[in-house]
Structure 1
C-alpha cells in the first residue's frame, strides 16, 4: 500500500528501500519501442558507476525482449532487472547477505509487487504529466512575455540561455545566429563558457556542430563523444572534456538562421525530453529573431530614406549639382554605415575619397550600367569587372541614368569582405542615384530652356534688324556693281570693289544672324557630306595661313544628310574657322575627318581637331551661347559655334567637345546617316541671262524699289513698279486691260497694311498663272506660307545681279 499511496513528489520506489538488502532502485521505460532507454524514477543513493550499471542492465533486457528477471552479481552486491511489462522494468541494487538472496528477492517482487509497481509508476507518471502540463503552460506564458520585449539579438541570446537553464539542468549551452549583414555565426548567448572560450567558439563555429547543423538542417545528438569520433569538438583545448551534446537548427520562416545546443561532461546527459525542449526554444527563438530582423531592416530603411531625403534637399538647394555631391556621399556613408562612397561619371568626373583604393575605370562603370539587375554587388572574393586588383571588400554599385541616358555610377565599399550586399542594397542606393539623376536632368532642362529663350531673343532681334539691314545693303551692292560695269579708272574700280566687299561682308553677317532666327534647316535636299567637306575646305585653304596645315580624311563617301546645303556647309566652315583661331599665331595642324560611327547608332561622324591652346573647363559650358567669344574685340561675332549648335541640333545630331588646355580641341558632330538620292547643287551660269518680258515690282521702300527697277532693267526687262499691295493689284489690272499683261511679279514680303503673301494669294485668285517671286530681308519662317499662297520662288536680300537674272530667266522659260 505504501507503493500505491506514494505522492508524486515522493518517489513510489522509496518503500522498496525498507527492505534491509535493497540499496537503490530505478524504473525504466522504452518509449514507443525506440532505441535507448529512459529513466522514469530513482530511489536511493546515486553514483556514476551505479547509474551506468542500471542503464546497461535495462538496455540489455529491452534488447532481449525477455520477461524473465536478470541478475548481475559482484562479490559484494547484486543488480536485479525485473520486467514489469513490454515497455517498463525496474532495476534493484542490493547487498549480498546470502547467495540465493538476489534470485529469491527477484521472484518475490515479480510475484507480489509487479501489479502494484506498474500501477504506482503509471499513476506517478500521470500525476507528473499533469503537473508538467500546468508547469509547461505557465512556462510558455512566461517565455512569451519574456521574448516579446527582447530589443536585439544579444538580448535574445541571453533570454534563450536563461530559459534553457530554467527548463533543464545544464552545464553548457550556446545559441548561434547568422549575422544577416556578414553571414558569420555569432554566439549571442551561452552558459558555462569563459571569455576566451566564447571567442574561440565563434571563430570555429562553422567547422563544428553549429555550422554542421546550419549546413545540413539536421539534429546532432551525441550520446558519448568518445564513441563517436566524427562528432568530437575541433575547438581549442577546454577546461573539461565534453562527453555528450545536442544541437538543433533554429528556423525562421522556413530558413535556417542559427543553431541552439547543449553540452555536458556526462555521458548520455540528453534524451528525447531535451530534444523536444530545444526544439520548442528554437522555434520561439526563430520567431523572435524574425521580428528583430524586420525591425532592423525597418530602422535601416528609415535611416536610408531620411538620408536620401536630406540628399535630395541638398541637391535641390545647390546652384550646381556638383557642389552637393561630396556631402551626398557623406550621407550615403553614414546611412549605409560603410567605409567609402564614390561617384564616377562617364565623362571622367570623380568624387569621393580615393585613399589607397584603386581608381574607378570606365570598364567597371560600363559593367554597372549594363547590369540586368539594376546594379552590381560583390564581397571582394571574385574578380570585379574593370578592376585588376580590387575592390577587395564588399561593395554595391548602381548606375545614374539621366533622361534615359547613363551618366555615371554610385559605388559604396566596405572596410572588409564581411558584409553581404543584395538586391535590397541596390534598391537602397538607387534612392540616392535617382535624386542625383533628377537634379542633373532638371539643371539640364533649365539650361536648355535658358538657351532656348536666349536664342529666341536673338532670333527676334535678328528678324527685326535683318530686313532693314538688307534693304540698306542691297542698293549699295547693286549700285556699286552697276558703277563698276562702266568704270575705266583703275583707282575708282578698286574703290567700288571695296564697297562691294564691304556690302558682301555685311550681308554675310546678316546671314549669320538670320541663321539664329530661322525655324527650319531640314529640307527635302539629300546633301552629300563628302562633297560639302571637300568644297568647304577648298574655300578655306586659300585664306588659311601657311603655318597652319589642313588635313582631311574621307572614309564615308556615300553618307548624306537631309538638310540645307548652305547650312551644313556653314557648320564645317565655322568649326574649321574656330580651329584656325584656336591655333592663333603658332604653327599647327587642323584634322578634318568624315567617317561612319563604329557603334550601332547609324550615324556619320564629322570630326574637326586642332592642336591649339585648348578650351578651359570654366568656359566650356558657354561655347554655344550667342555672342560668346574668346577672341579679341572686333575679331569675331560670337555666333559661329551658336550656328553650328543650332544646325546640328535641328538635323537631329549631337556635338561632343573634348578639350584640354595646352593640348588642343576636338569637336565631334554626330549626324543621322542617310544614303538617299543626292540632290544636285545649283549651278551658277557663266553669263547672266537677260530678257524683254514685262515684270511687276512691288516694294514699300522707295530706295529699294528704285534699286530693284534699275537692276531688273539692266537685264533688259520692261519694269512696272508699285509702292504697295493695292497699287500692285491696280497696276496688274491696268496692264491686263491695256493688252500688255504682266508676265512675272517680284514682291517684297513686309509692307504696311497688306504683305507680299497676300498679294500673291490675290493674284492667284484672279487667275494669274505666271511666276510669282517673294523677296524678303527676313529668315525663311514665311516660306511655307508663301509657297502655300502660290509663290514659285523665295529670294533673300541682298541678291546679286547674276542670281536674280538666273532666277527670272529660269522661271519665265519654265512657263513657255
Structure 2
C-alpha cells in the first residue's frame, strides 16, 4: 500500500491525504474511512508496539530522516497482521511535514520464519531422540548398514535392494543425484582420513527415489576410532529436508519480491519521469528479484499493439521478436496479450510445455526463460500497458508472489496516473500562463477601458485605457479601493452607486449605461458577469467606451434633423402666419378710417389675439429648433402628446384630420424630451406625406404591463411596465419590398430633394437608446401604424 500523511510540525494534526487501493486488503477498511480519520489506521497498531513506533517516528521527525518499522496490526476482524512501514518526510509550504511512504504485508514472511524455526527444532529433536534413519559405515569392510526407514525415504525397501547393507559406492550409484555424487564421496573420504576422535560432519545432498522424484537429504555423521587411532566406523543419520528446503526457497523468493516491491515503490516516490521510473522498475526486478528478464509494454492505440518501452536483464533481442498484436489471435495468446485484454494477471508456469507459447517458445528457452507472468498497468481504471517478468525456474509464480506482484502493478499504474495528471497539470499551467499573458496583452492594448473584479468585488485587472478615461492617478490605480475616486469623477454619482449596488445584489444581470464625467467625457459602460462552465460565479467585467465625439456628432445630426423638420413645416407655418396677419392688416386699415371707441376696442382685441397666436407658433418652432439633447428626466407623455397635437394642427394641411387619444395618469418615461419630441414629429411628418389627398392622423398613448411570454415574442423586449405610443395614418400603406428597408440609413421613397432617408433611421436609434422598441403595422390601401414601446420610469417628479 502507498500512502501520503500530512502532519503538523509538532507531530499533531495528522491526516492521510492519499492511500492506495491496497488498504482494504491490508486493513479491512476503505480508503475513504482512512482519509476521513487517521485514527482508523493508527488505532490498529497493537498496544505493545505503539511506544516503539512513537519513538521511531519522533527520531525520524527530529532529523527529517526516513522512517522504517515493523509492527503488528489488529484488524477489525480480530486477526493480527505484521506490517513493514517505510516513509520519507519532507516539509510542505504550509509548515507541515508530509510523509510519502509504503506499507508491506510481511505476515507471511514472519509466519514462515516462525514455522521454519519450529520445524528445524522438531527435526533436530527427532534426530537426537529417535535417531531416525540411522546408518553405520564399517570402514574396514566397506559396508554401510541402515534401518528400514532410510529405505522408505529412498522410495524402496531393504528386500527390494537385497538387504540392509551395501557399499558406499553402490549407495552413490543407486540413489545419489549424479551432480551430488562427488559431495558424498568426498565426505566419506574425509571421515576415513580423520584423525580427531571428535570429528563430525553435516552436509546435504540430493537423492533420486525409485519413482524418479528428487529429495534433499540432511546428513549428520561422526567417527569412531579403533584401538590404533584410525577411523573404524562412521555413524550417522539422514533426514528428508525437502519441504524445509522448499520453504526456505519460498522465503527467499518472497524476500526478493518484497525487496523488489520496496525498491520500486521508493523509485515511484522519487522518480518523476514516467519512462525513467519504468526502466528503473525493470532493473530492480532483475537485480533484486532475481528475474531473468523484465519488460514494460504500453498500448499503441493506432497499431493495436503492446509496444516495449522499458526492459532489463537477459533480453538479447527478444523484444524485437515478441510482437504482441492485439488483433492477431495467435500473437495475443501469450501472458502479455492476455493480461492486457483481460485486465488481470496471466501466468505461464512452464514455458516448455505451454501450448499458448508456441510462437515464442524456442526463443524463450534459448534465453533461459522457464516461467513468466504478466501484470496489467491500469491508469484511471483502464489498462494502458503491462509489466512482464521471466523466471529461470519452472513454477516460480505461486499465489503469494502473485498477490505481491499484483500490488506492485497497481502501484506502478498509480504512479503512471500521477505522472499523466502531473503532465496535464504542467501543460494546463503553461497554457494558462500563455492565455493569461495573451489576455493581459489584449486587455492593455484595447481601445476601451477594462476593469475585472472578483466575486467579492476586489479588483483583479485594470488596463491603462481605464486609467486614461477616468483620469486615475497611478498611485490610486495601484491601490485596490479606487471606487471613491471614480465616484468623485461622475456628474450623477448616486445613479452610478445605485447601479453598482443593484448589480452586486443581482450578479446574474448585465448592464449597459451612459456615464458623463465632470470634465465632459461621455462613457458608454457595459458590465457582465463572468461564470465558469459549471455556473460558478467568478466576478464581473466592466468596459468603458469613450463616446464623447459620437455624442457630439449625434447632437449635430439631431439638430440637422430638427432643422429639416422645421423646413418641412415651413409652408404650414407660413400659411398659418398669413392667416394670422390678414386680420391684423385689415384691422389696421379700418382703424385708419376712424370709428367709434367700441368698434376700435373690438379691432384691438382681434389684433391682440392674432398676435398672441402668431407668437405661440413662433415660440413652438424656436423651442423645437433650440432643443438640447442628452439629459434624461422622468417625462409626462400627456404633455408631449399635447404639444405635438398643437403643432401639427397649426401646421399640417387642413384636409388632414388630427385625432389625439391622450388618457390621463399615464406612466412616466425616463427620457430626453427633445429627442422623443423629434421621434413623434418625424413619424407625424411621414404620416402627412403618406396622405397627399388628405386623411386621418391619429396620436394615442396607453400604459401596459408586458409579461414574460409576450416579451419573448419581441426582440430586445424586457418584461415589465411600459408606455405605448402610436402614430397612425390612413394612407396607402407600405409595400413589403419597402417595409424591410424603411429603417436603413439614407433609404427613401421620396423624390430627390424632398427627403434625406434618415428620418426613420433616427427614430429607430432614439427609441433603442431609450431602451424601447419600435414596431410597425401596415396594410396596403388601409394605412400604417408605428408603435413605440418605452419602459416606464419609477414614479417621481416629472418635467
TM class, shorter-chain normalised?
Answer: 0.3 to 0.5
Larger strand percent: 2
- TM-score in terms of structure 1 length: 0.35
Higher relative contact order (CA 8 A, sep 6+): 1
